[in-house]
Amino acid sequence: PPGESPSVAVTFKDYKTLEYNTWLNDIIIDFFLAWLYRKVLREEDRARVHMFTTMLYRYVVVVLILHFS
C-alpha cells in the first residue's frame, strides 16, 4: 500500500509480465517480496528480516565487477 514500507507500485505493463512464457520484471519480484514481508512474516519476526530490492542486487554486482576487474 502507498505510504507503507516497503511499498511497490505495479503498473499494467508490470502486471502483463505475469503472462505465460514471459520474463518477470523487477517490479513484480519486488512487489512479491513486499507482500511476503507484510502478509506472511509475523510482526515479531520482521525486525530480524531484511529484504532488498532487485535494484540493490544489480548495484552490488556492478560494484563488485568494477572492483575486481
Cα separation, 61 vs 41, whole angstroms: 28
pLDDT of residue 1: 59
| 8 Å CB contact between 32 and 51 | no
Q: What pLDDT shows up at residue 51?
A: 84
pLDDT > 90 fraction of the chain, expressed in percent and rounded: 38
For residue 2, what pLDDT is reported? 62
Mean pLDDT over the full length of the chain: 87
Distance CA(33)–CA(63), nearest Å, equals: 23
The four Cα atoms 10, 13, 18, 24 give a dihedral, to 10 degrees, of -80
Q: Which residues of the chain have pLDDT under 50?
A: none
The structure's pTM equals: 0.70
